[in-house]
Amino acid sequence: MFRMDSPLTEEAREAVFQLPKLSHLWVVIQGHTPLPPVALPHLITIDLEYDDHFCWLQGFRGTMVEKLEVIYFISQSERIGDFLEEYKNVALTTCYSHHTR
């Protein structure tokens, strides 16, 4: 598990988003903060707080998150429609497993 309630440096983001055994992630992203390519094959839960910018979503493009079960996005942004459209575009390139419960 990794929890950080303030923005990470670029070097810290690169390290955290490449931790192969990380299963739970909570992170704050502010401003135009691009993420490195995300490689978190064991990620189960992600809790992401962001502001009006969502270029960070591109870090998830083409990512394998087969174990992902829970996603929390927290924002005060009034641009939720723009976010949802961008999320949809990225999600279409992301590999999720399909659980039946």
Query: How far is the C-alpha of 62 from the C-alpha of 32, rounded, in Å?
Result: 20
- pLDDT, tens only, 60-86: 888 877 888 998 988 888 877 788 888
Query: How far is the C-alpha of 36 from the C-alpha of 25, rounded, in Å?
Result: 15
pLDDT at residue 35 in the model = 85
Under the banding of pLDDT at 50, 70 and 90, the label for residue 42 is very high
pLDDT at residue 96 in the model = 55
